[in-house]
Amino acid sequence: MRYMITLKVTAQPTTPPPAELMAAIAKLGEEATRAGVLLDTNGLAPSAEGARVELVGGKLSVTDGPFAEAKELISYALYQVRTKEEAIEWTSRFMKIHRDLWEGWEGEADVLRVFGPEDFAPRG
């Protein structure tokens, strides 16, 4: 099963991310890659550089960022794992690194299963 993990920051320290944090993130990514579960990961530009496309009442609209949400979406990861619990475990390890190495940083991660063709196969 594939899972998309999205990371949002809810409290950002005024200090830049410590070098120890960045090294620990890289090490975790290398471990997940060696384990064959990490398919892709990347940071995302601030919403100020993006746009939102909405369809409401049959009308399409485009709004340039930034968006009003208090939580800024900052990165994603795509995992290929056997269970949701395994995806949660990798995500928890990532969050613990932030807790332990960057005081004051707070965030939330959503663990979402990615549908595949098997989810839409005709039922016989």
pTM over 0.95: no
Helix, strand, coil percent content, the chain, rounded in steps of 5: 35, 35, 30
Asked if the model's pLDDT at residue 53 lies above 90, the reply is yes
Tokens representing 79?
């995992």
pLDDT bin (cut points 50, 70, 90) of residue 90 is very high
Give the model's pLDDT for residue 26: 97
How high does pLDDT run on average in the chain? Answer: 95
Domains of the chain: 2-12+20-117 (3.30.70.1060)
pLDDT bin (cut points 50, 70, 90) of residue 123 is confident
Tokens representing 34?
């060696």
**Which stretch of 27-31, 32-36, 116-120 has the lowest confidence by average pLDDT?**
116-120
**Pair 117, 20: CB distance under 8 Å:** no
Cα 24 off chain centre by: 17
Q: Which of 97, 110, 99, 84 is nearest to 29 (CA)?
A: 97
Give the model's pLDDT for residue 8: 95
What does the alpha-carbon distance between residue 8 and residue 60 come to, in Å, rounded to a whole number?
A: 26
